[in-house]
Structure 1
Amino acid sequence: MRVVCVVAVLAVANLVNNRFARGPLAYVLTCVVATAVLLLIARRDGLTRADLGIDAAGLRRGARWAPFLAGAVLAGYLLLLAVPAGREVFQDARAAGLTGGQLLGSVLVRVPVGTVLLEETAFRGVLWAMVRRRWGTAWATAASSLLFGLWHVLPSRGLNRSNAAVGAAFGGGPADVAVTVAVAVAVTAAAGVVLCELRRRSGSLLAPAALHWAVNGFGYALAWAAPRWWPAG
């Protein structure tokens, strides 16, 4: 029953953030409130800080993983930028239109305090630990990753318009949007498997959180910088 409660909280948060929240402050507030509710459910379920990967020892282990994970993501992005064809990946209207202050707000507040906090707490923390305790690690990873993929249905509906590479690859018609959403769900579900395995191997929620922040945070920063410093062509 508590697993169902977690899924319900996530469904409401997803709907609020993608349909009703206006502006970054509302988004972050929704994420923080949803995170707090999920942690209360986890406590009622008897999960410990160690179960969630946020005990002191787990955080120390995660801190050792974090710089290597972030560095690997940054290196991969810079390699893409070094190839003219790869720069199209960073032609994203959502980031390109930001001011410098808005960019900092996204990288330092919206992504870590909003996106990463809620998604890692939910999918690699509370949900993963609940399902793992009941049915084992394989089921925990499968359930968490599938729901993580479905979590991206609503936010991926505008990718064809906002990202040049996605629009060029899939087109912009209604059928093309449906294909894009399906691909986005599959890709993020696969990413969920990687993040769950990282959570398992590191014994820390901080490790997948660091990787998640690096992918999103560096992605925003370089998508903002790419059309200004490395024009596609």
Structure 2
Amino acid sequence: MRRTFALVTAVVVLAASTTLANRVLPGWAYPVCGLVAAAILVALGRAAGCSWTGLGLATLRRPALVGLAGAALIAVVFGIALAAPALRTVYQDGRVGDPDFGQLLWLTCGRILFGTVLIEEVAFRGVLPGLLGATDDRWRWPPILGAAALFGLWHALPALAIGRNAAVHAVFGATPVVVLQVLAMAAAGVAGIFLHWWRHTGRGVLASVIVHFTTNAGGLTLAVLVR
């Protein structure tokens, strides 16, 4: 019963957090909202009886090493994409704007790291799988798929702007926004499984944090470079 209550409360906290961050709060408060929500979720997980290991927060060394290996792999992929002109449209995104170096630093190390990556990894690779019964010793599909599905739903509001990406627009053209939103949410759910693999392999959320941050921050930086 404690875990059920904590799970429902966590979903409510996440729904409130994404609504506040994307529709209500000013830009500077975006990472603050993520930090507060992450702290609340960890407290809920611990109150429900989840161990630090179950939340993916027990160790740092192995998760850091696995995460850095993933970051290196992603950097290679980004390098190939940057070198191949045909792939550059993937990073041409109307949501990027024209940030200077200071703004880019804020977007990557402020908004992305604390407002996006931290809350998402703590929530969807740490607390929610733990509350759903995931363990570090073996891969269990039900809690992982449950957390991945919620991760997809979490992207409902951000997915509304996915059509502003040049590659998405080139492929889907005049596809209705609702259809693009559903597809983007489904893609986010698949990405959630991929990120949980890194968390599971690294035996800690820090591994998926590093991979997630490298993907998002690297993608934004490339989008600025090729705009």
Unmatched 5+ residue regions in structure 1?
228-233
Specify the alignment match of 1:231 in structure 2.
Answer: none
SS of the aligned residue for 1:189 comes to helix
Q: Does 1:8 find its partner at 2:25? A: no
Output the CA distance in 1 between the equivalents of 2:156 and 2:147: 15
Structure-to-structure mapping, 1:1-233, within 5 angstroms: 1-23=5-27, 25-55=28-58, 58-132=59-133, 137-161=140-164, 163-172=165-174, 175-227=175-227
Output the CA distance in 2 between the equivalents of 1:143 and 1:171: 31
Output the CA distance in 1 between the equivalents of 2:195 and 2:182: 20
Structure 1 residue 137: deviation in Å? Answer: 2.5
Paired residues, what number? 220
Paired amino acid for 2:167: A
Q: CA RMSD in A?
A: 1.6
Output the CA distance in 2 between the equivalents of 1:176 and 1:165: 16
Output the CA distance in 1 between the equivalents of 2:134 and 2:100: 45
| Cα deviation 1:116-151 (Å, max 9, x = unaligned) | 1100000001001110169x9221101000000111
Paired amino acid for 2:6: R
- Matched-pair contact (CA < 8 Å) for 1:34–1:118: yes
| Cα deviation 1:144-193 (Å, max 9, x = unaligned) | 000001111110101213x1111222225xx5211211111111111111
Output the CA distance in 2 between the equivalents of 1:200 and 1:128: 11
- Matched-pair contact (CA < 8 Å) for 1:53–1:59: no
SS of the aligned residue for 2:53 comes to helix
Structure 1 residue 204: deviation in Å? Answer: 0.9
Paired amino acid for 2:100: T
- Structure with greater helix share of residues: 1
Output the CA distance in 1 between the equivalents of 2:29 and 2:64: 29
Output the CA distance in 1 between the equivalents of 2:101 and 2:184: 28
| Cα deviation 1:10-66 (Å, max 9, x = unaligned) | 01111111111221x2111111111111111112112221111111xx311111112
* TM-score normalised by the chain length of structure 1: 0.89
Paired amino acid for 2:44: I
Give every structure 1 segment of 4 or more consecutive aligned residues whose post-TM-superposition deviation is greater than 6 Å: none
Identity across matched positions, percent: 36
- Matched-pair contact (CA < 8 Å) for 1:95–1:221: no
* TM-score normalised by the chain length of structure 2: 0.92
